[in-house]
């Protein structure tokens, strides 16, 4: 922004700033009226800050095995303690957050991308294409996702990478977005302004991008949060079973090693408490954000609550 | 206010200065803002007005069915000298259907999709008779009830087998008839019908109105018919009230209003009516109704009124009887009041 | 297939006398069972061809090779290789292998376990299944009933305000994966305060039997895992039901029900819940169908002797026959629950007819 404003005409710049200011204030108003969304965003931002700024403050090399004295409870030196392989828990968590979020974002984006394309095609064109898309999504939804993922992940030979887990998870992340977006497109298609656009000679893609997309943004946003959330959930599930990237300290793998080394029964509570705590914060924040977005998109829920 | 009481002595229902407000996040909507009218015994009274003028809100307020964020903010609803607005909820519940029945707007979806027609008539009857007799089982047998349901259905022009059907197995007109049957089941003294024929085709509309008229005549009940179709109103009701922006603009006998509308809004409505050879007669006027959140000052109609003059934006006109049985709320008639 | 795609909201005005209703039902039921068999067949076929599609050697043979190479300490492994070769051997044409395989699966004969030869896959599954069914069906049903009722009250505008505040924390719990909730519960209620056993389905050293003591022991062991499932699922059911109640409350028939002067109790149960419950029923059937795969993580965390733990160990031990057997079983379970749902649903929702189109 800084570079471009210099070249802008002052009047234009002023109007842009006013626009921006009212936008920000509008968003602030939304947030104040929507404490769930606000709290969720604050929690998520705090977590992401820990994951991104953490490496600048602490030494993440201690996330490697045998870099610290094993099995130490939290102390001033090791804020979250250390585990049996000689890794520092804080460093593990700081390294794990971006990895886990990365898996979620990749899988969520792929899932939402496929879902949006299929949903639009199905909802907009209708007919046999729609029937096929809808049936495929419905059938896939009844198949127990985790089970398929387990079988697929277990049959991957050799070392598993973060990206592979993301792809595995993404393969089952498209059905839900497909369904929601399809039904939204179906209902929007009937609206008068879409009829108007058709009468005005707009083409299919034009109608989709100019008329339908903007109206679907809240749903796309909510779907994306939902898709990322379920992708992270599935990925952590696979990892906790030991089917994740063995060489990367994702949050789920840390839990796997804690279970593997019986941290629970040996009283090493900090070993599992750190990743579990971070995951809980992550999920609760995603839950609150999704619930908040839902209320924005669907004001009737708001009334039921307050 | 004083005018409302002078309307007539004999009244089944007297509504005085009724106010309903919706407290939305963006401000207070005064959906009904000081409405007064009376329903005389056995008469057919119509309420017309554009969509959003507050007609359905009046209907729901009379039934005391306004839901949060809305509430009845003032006024009295006198049913045989009993103020419904002040009645405890329990007592109000026994008034509904038994003394005032509602045929709701959107009767297409007014029946519970998972219950048979029979059950939906019987549960209403039982809810009231249990209360009255105080006993759980009631005195009547199942056979009696079913016979009564069959008679009700036949009285609205349905075959008795309809009792066993589910709503989705019925056509729109049939569903509407079932709603009428439910409304008359307990022989109420007032029937409120909120746009009972919207979403029906013209032929069915006429049949439904005939049925409604027939059952009303048989019961001797008063009917409050709500609609935005002036043509249909003209054929059915004895008197009309014209709503604009949550207020009554004019009340009077139907013939007189059509022959000589007094309020400028009514004049617009009547002159916009199509000639008889055209199909529809829905109200569509030049200009936009105001936003319900910030109504204009003074007379709410003044931004659209072709005859607005100095006092209009400044002072709120009051509904007065300017001629016998003709009530108008407009500064044009300020001098015409015989006091 | 299945429930979600099926419902056709019928608009016919035709009369439906008793006989007219029964005949379409029989036709519908036959077709629906046919679809079920088709799904099962497809699953079995997939199970047969997937390992054979793997590039190079099929994983089962590779695995057997590894076991042998490691010294073949398992007694009878040669015998097993022989059996395996006979069944999947190169000697026979593929279609013959396939038919033989289908015959075996039709009799639920999944062969032997690779990891714990000579145990048969079916016996291993048979031992584990009752544990999973008891734990997960019971806790899922409890969560469904409590959560749905809570959600119905949350979505009911006339319910007292404090209910909302009471349930909000539980709704938030639903955001947490239940095996993690399980970890926390184990730590506080089993490790620290020793109120409940740490893990397992029964006390180590006792033999499963139909005695009062054993049942008591098993119930004690199942409370913590059940609690974590119930806590984590409550919110799911409550949120779903709340949404449906809010939708239902806006329906015209709710206003009309009130206009009839019905008491709130009647409106709540016969109008609101009765309608809002319909989609919940579909979710319940799907949840019950997916129980085995839900079970995996919670059973592993609690060391519970059910299908989930069995599957987990099978994966760890590359016990392919066992994995395929369990996957097949899961698909059959899901097919069966959706079949039951589809047959029963028209009774719950009269708008769904047995006729198609
Ligand atoms: N639940 C509600 N929340 C906010 N405003 C409402 C609500 N219901 C009705 N209103 C307002 O009340 C006014 C009158 O509505 P209504 O009585 O339905 O009009 P009509 O039946 O004449 O079309 C409208 O301006 C509408 O905005
Ligand atoms: S009061 Fe004035 S603005 Fe209102 S209707 Fe009469 S003339 Fe028109
Ligand atoms: Mg209305």
Alpha-carbon distance of B256 to C275, in angstroms, equals 48
The tokens describing A272, both together, are 């599992």
Does the structure show a pLDDT above 90 at B256?
yes
Chain B: nearest CA to A32, how far in angstroms? 13
Does the structure show a pLDDT above 70 at B15?
yes
Alpha-helix residue ranges (DSSP H) falling in chain B: 2-6, 55-62, 89-95, 117-133, 142-155, 172-184, 202-219, 230-236, 254-259, 264-272, 311-314
By mean pLDDT, which of A114-123, B8-17, B113-122, C118-127 is the weakest?
A: B8-17
- Shortest-distance ligand to the CA of residue B31: 1
- Provide the pLDDT confidence category of residue C22 given band limits of 50, 70 and 90: low
| Top-ranked range on mean pLDDT: pick from C63-77, C108-122, C326-340 | C326-340
| Top-ranked range on mean pLDDT: pick from A133-142, A274-283, C103-112 | A274-283
Helix C212-249 crosses helix C138-154 at what angle (to 10 degrees)?
30
Ligand 2 pocket, mutate which of B49, B295, B299 (most atoms under 8 A from CB): B299
Does the structure show a pLDDT above 50 at A32?
yes
- Is the shortest distance between the CB of B333 and ligand 2 below 6 Å? no
Look-up of token digits 């000697």: C91
The whole-number pLDDT of residue A29 equals 61
- Is the shortest distance between the CB of B21 and ligand 1 below 6 Å? no
Determine contact: A282 vs chain C, CB below 8 A.
no
> Measuring CA to CA, how many Å separate A55 from each of A46, A97, C149?
14, 11, 47
- Provide the pLDDT confidence category of residue B17 given band limits of 50, 70 and 90: very high
Cβ-based contacts of A255 with chain C (< 8 Å): 180, 183
By mean pLDDT, which of B252-256, C48-52, C230-234 is the weakest?
A: C48-52
Mean pLDDT of A1-27: 44
- Provide the pLDDT confidence category of residue A304 given band limits of 50, 70 and 90: very low
| Top-ranked range on mean pLDDT: pick from A4-8, B57-61, B105-109 | B57-61
Q: Residue C320: how many CA atoms within 13 Å on its side-chain side?
A: 15
- Provide the pLDDT confidence category of residue A265 given band limits of 50, 70 and 90: confident
- Is the shortest distance between the CB of B51 and ligand 1 below 6 Å? yes
Cβ-based contacts of B25 with chain A (< 8 Å): 33
Ligand 1: which atom is nearest the Cα of residue B105?
A: 21
CA nearest ligand 2 atom 1, residue: B330
> Measuring CA to CA, how many Å separate B201 from each of A41, B8, B204, B205, B304?
52, 37, 6, 6, 32
Cβ-based contacts of A33 with chain B (< 8 Å): 25
Does the structure show a pLDDT above 90 at C193?
no
Find out whether A234 and A149 touch, Cβ atoms under 8 Å.
yes
Residue of C344, C249, C216, C357 whose CA lies nearest to C288? C344
Alpha-carbon distance of A33 to B111, in angstroms, equals 36
**Cβ pair A134:C177 closer than 8 A:** no
Chain C: nearest CA to A10, how far in angstroms? 49
Q: Is B249 helix (H, G, I), strand (E, B) or coil?
A: strand
Sheet of B44-48, strand order: B100-103, B190-194, B222-227, B44-48, B239-244, B247-253, B326-328, B320-323
- Is the shortest distance between the CB of B153 and ligand 2 below 6 Å? no
- Beta-bridge mates of residue B326: B323
pLDDT tens digits, residue range B196-208? 887 788 888 888 8
- In chain B, whose CA is at the least distance from the CA of A30? B25
pLDDT tens digits, residue range C96-119? 878 888 888 888 887 777 777 678
Who wins on pLDDT, A192 or A52? A52
Query: Which residues, in sequence order, are CB contacts of A31 under 8 Å at separation 6+?
Result: A37, A38, A41
- Chains touching A, CB cut-off 8 Å, 3+ pairs: B, C
**Cβ pair A303:B25 closer than 8 A:** no
Does the structure show a pLDDT above 70 at C21?
no
- Is the shortest distance between the CB of B53 and ligand 1 below 6 Å? yes
**Cβ pair A150:C311 closer than 8 A:** yes
In angstroms, what is the span from residue B245 Cα to ligand 2's centroid?
13
* pTM to 2 decimal places: 0.79
By mean pLDDT, which of A197-206, C40-49, C321-330 is the weakest?
A: A197-206
Omega within 30 of 0 (cis) for the link into C100: no
Does the structure show a pLDDT above 60 at C73?
no
Find out whether B237 and B44 touch, Cβ atoms under 8 Å.
yes
**Cβ pair B68:A303 closer than 8 A:** yes
Does the structure show a pLDDT above 70 at C149?
yes
Chain A: nearest CA to C34, how far in angstroms? 16
Residue of C249, C268, C241, C247 whose CA lies nearest to C170? C241
**Cβ pair C259:B101 closer than 8 A:** yes
Cross-chain CB nearest to B170 (options C13, C251, C349): C13
CB neighbourhood size of A18 (10 A): 10
- Residue A118, classified by CB atoms within 10 Å of its CB into exposed (0-12), middle (13-18) or buried (19+), is buried
In angstroms, what is the span from residue B227 Cα to ligand 3's centroid?
8
The whole-number pLDDT of residue A5 equals 30
CA nearest ligand 2 atom 6, residue: B330
Residue of B182, B219, B213 whose CA lies nearest to B197? B213
Mean pLDDT of B161-185: 92
**Cβ pair C258:B65 closer than 8 A:** yes
Does the structure show a pLDDT above 70 at C345?
yes
Ligand 2: which atom is nearest the Cα of residue B331?
A: 1
Q: Taking the mean position of all CA atoms in its chain, how far away is CA B238?
A: 14
Does the structure show a pLDDT above 90 at B16?
yes
Does the structure show a pLDDT above 60 at C72?
no
Q: Count of H helices and E strands in chain A?
A: 14, 0
| Top-ranked range on mean pLDDT: pick from B132-146, C170-184, C257-271 | C257-271
φ/ψ of residue B249, rounded to 5: -85, -35
Residue of A84, A87, A48, A82 whose CA lies nearest to A67? A87
**Cβ pair A283:C175 closer than 8 A:** yes
Alpha-carbon distance of B306 to B88, in angstroms, equals 45
Alpha-carbon distance of A17 to A183, in angstroms, equals 38
The whole-number pLDDT of residue B6 equals 45
pLDDT tens digits, residue range B296-335? 899 999 998 989 989 999 999 999 999 999 999 999 998 7
Does the structure show a pLDDT above 70 at B221?
yes
φ/ψ of residue C184, rounded to 5: -65, -45
The whole-number pLDDT of residue A9 equals 42
- Chains touching C, CB cut-off 8 Å, 3+ pairs: A, B
Helix C121-132 crosses helix C307-316 at what angle (to 10 degrees)?
140
- Provide the pLDDT confidence category of residue A147 given band limits of 50, 70 and 90: confident
């Amino acid at each position: 922004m800084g570079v471009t404003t210099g070249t802008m005409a002052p009047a234009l710049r002023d109007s842009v700033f006013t626009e921006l200011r009212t936008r920000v204030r509008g968003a602030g108003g939304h947030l104040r009226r929507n404490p769930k969304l606000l709290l969720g965003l604050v929690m998520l931002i705090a977590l992401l800050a820990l994951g991104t700024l953490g490496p600048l403050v602490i030494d993440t090399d201690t996330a490697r095995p045998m870099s610290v004295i094993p099995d130490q409870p939290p102390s001033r030196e090791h804020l979250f303690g250390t585990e049996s392989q000689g890794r520092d828990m804080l460093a593990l968590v700081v390294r794990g957050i971006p990895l886990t979020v990365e898996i979620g974002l990749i899988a969520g984006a792929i899932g939402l991308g496929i879902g949006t394309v299929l949903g639009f095609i199905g909802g907009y064109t209708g007919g046999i294409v729609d029937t096929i898309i809808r049936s495929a999504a419905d059938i896939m939804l009844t198949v127990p996702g985790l089970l398929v993922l387990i079988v697929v992940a277990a049959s991957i030979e050799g070392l598993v990478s973060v990206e592979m887990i993301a792809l595995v998870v993404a393969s089952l992340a498209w059905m839900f977005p497909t369904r929601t977006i399809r039904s939204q497109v179906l209902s929007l298609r009937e609206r008068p302004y879409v009829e108007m656009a058709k009468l005005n000679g707009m083409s299919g893609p034009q109608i989709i991008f100019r008329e339908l997309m903007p109206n679907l943004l809240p749903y796309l946003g909510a779907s994306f949060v939902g898709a990322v959330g379920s992708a992270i959930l599935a990925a952590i599930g696979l990892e906790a079973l030991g089917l994740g990237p063995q060489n990367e300290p994702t949050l789920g793998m840390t839990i796997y090693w804690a279970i593997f080394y019986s941290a629970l029964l040996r009283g090493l509570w900090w070993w599992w408490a750190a990743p579990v705590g971070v995951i809980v914060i992550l999920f609760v924040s995603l839950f609150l954000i999704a619930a908040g977005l839902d209320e924005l998109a669907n004001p009737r829920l708001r009334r039921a609550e307050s | 206010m004083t005018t409302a009481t002078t309307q007539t002595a004999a009244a089944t229902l007297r509504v005085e200065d009724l106010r309903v407000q919706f407290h939305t996040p963006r401000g207070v909507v005064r959906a009904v803002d000081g409405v007064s009218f009376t329903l005389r015994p056995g008469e057919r009274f119509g309420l017309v007005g554009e969509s959003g003028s507050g007609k359905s809100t009046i209907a729901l307020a009379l039934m005391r069915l306004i839901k949060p964020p809305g509430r009845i903010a003032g006024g009295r609803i006198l049913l045989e000298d009993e103020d419904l607005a002040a009645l405890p909820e329990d007592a109000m519940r026994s008034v509904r259907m038994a003394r005032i029945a509602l045929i709701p707007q959107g009767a297409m979806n007014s029946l519970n999709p998972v219950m048979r027609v029979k059950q939906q008539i019987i549960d209403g009857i039982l809810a009231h008779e249990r209360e009255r007799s105080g006993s759980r089982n009631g005195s009547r047998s199942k056979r009696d009830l079913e016979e009564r349901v069959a008679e009700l259905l036949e009285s609205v022009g349905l075959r008795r087998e309809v009792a066993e059907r589910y709503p989705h197995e019925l056509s729109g007109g049939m569903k509407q008839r079932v709603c009428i049957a439910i409304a008359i089941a307990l022989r109420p003294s007032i029937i409120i019908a909120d746009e009972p024929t919207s979403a029906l085709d013209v032929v069915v509309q006429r049949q439904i109105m005939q049925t409604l008229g027939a059952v009303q005549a048989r019961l001797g009940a008063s009917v409050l018919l709500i609609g935005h179709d002036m043509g249909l109103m003209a054929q059915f009701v004895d008197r009309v009230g014209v709503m604009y922006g949550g207020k009554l603009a004019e009340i009077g006998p139907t013939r007189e209003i059509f022959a000589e509308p007094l309020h400028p809004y009514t004049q617009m409505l009547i002159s916009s009516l199509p000639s008889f050879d055209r199909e529809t007669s829905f109200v569509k006027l030049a200009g936009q109704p105001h936003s319900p959140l910030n109504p204009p000052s003074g007379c709410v109609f003044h931004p659209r009124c072709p005859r607005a003059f100095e006092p209009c934006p400044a002072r709120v006109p009051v509904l007065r009887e300017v001629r016998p049985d003709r009530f108008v709320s407009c500064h044009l008639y300020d001098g015409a009041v015989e006091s | 297939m299945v429930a979600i795609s099926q419902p056709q909201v019928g608009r016919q005005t035709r009369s439906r006398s008793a006989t007219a209703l029964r005949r379409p039902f029989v036709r519908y039921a036959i077709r629906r069972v046919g679809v079920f068999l088709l799904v099962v067949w497809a699953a079995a076929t997939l199970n047969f061809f997937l390992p054979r599609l793997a590039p190079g050697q099929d994983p089962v043979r590779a695995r057997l090779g590894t076991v042998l190479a490691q010294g073949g300490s398992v007694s009878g492994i040669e015998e097993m290789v022989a059996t395996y070769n006979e069944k999947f051997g190169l000697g026979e044409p593929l279609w013959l292998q396939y038919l033989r395989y289908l015959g075996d699966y039709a009799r639920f004969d999944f062969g032997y376990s690779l990891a714990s030869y000579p145990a048969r896959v079916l016996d291993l599954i048979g031992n584990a299944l009752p544990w999973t069914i008891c734990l997960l069906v019971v806790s899922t049903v409890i969560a469904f009933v409590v959560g749905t009722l809570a959600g119905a009250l949350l979505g009911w505008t006339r319910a007292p305000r404090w209910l909302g505040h009471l349930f909000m924390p539980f709704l938030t719990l639903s955001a947490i994966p239940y095996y993690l909730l399980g970890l926390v519960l184990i730590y506080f209620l089993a490790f620290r305060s020793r109120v409940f056993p740490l893990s397992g389905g029964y006390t180590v050293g006792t033999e499963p039997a139909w005695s009062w003591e054993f049942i008591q022991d098993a119930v004690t062991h199942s409370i913590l895992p059940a609690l974590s499932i119930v806590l984590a699922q409550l919110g799911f059911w409550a949120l779903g039901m709340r949404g449906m109640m809010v939708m239902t409350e806006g329906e015209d028939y709710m206003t009309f029900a009130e206009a009839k002067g019905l008491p709130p109790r009647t409106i709540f149960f016969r109008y609101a819940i009765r309608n809002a419950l319909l989609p919940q029923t579909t979710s319940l059937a799907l949840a019950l169908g997916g129980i085995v795969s839900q079970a995996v993580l919670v059973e592993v965390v609690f060391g519970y002797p059910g299908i989930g733990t069995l599957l987990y160990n099978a994966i760890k031990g590359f016990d392919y026959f066992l994995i395929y057997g369990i996957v097949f079983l899961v698909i059959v379970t899901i097919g069966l629950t959706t079949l039951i749902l589809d047959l029963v649903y028209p009774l719950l929702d009269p708008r769904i007819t047995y006729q198609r189109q």
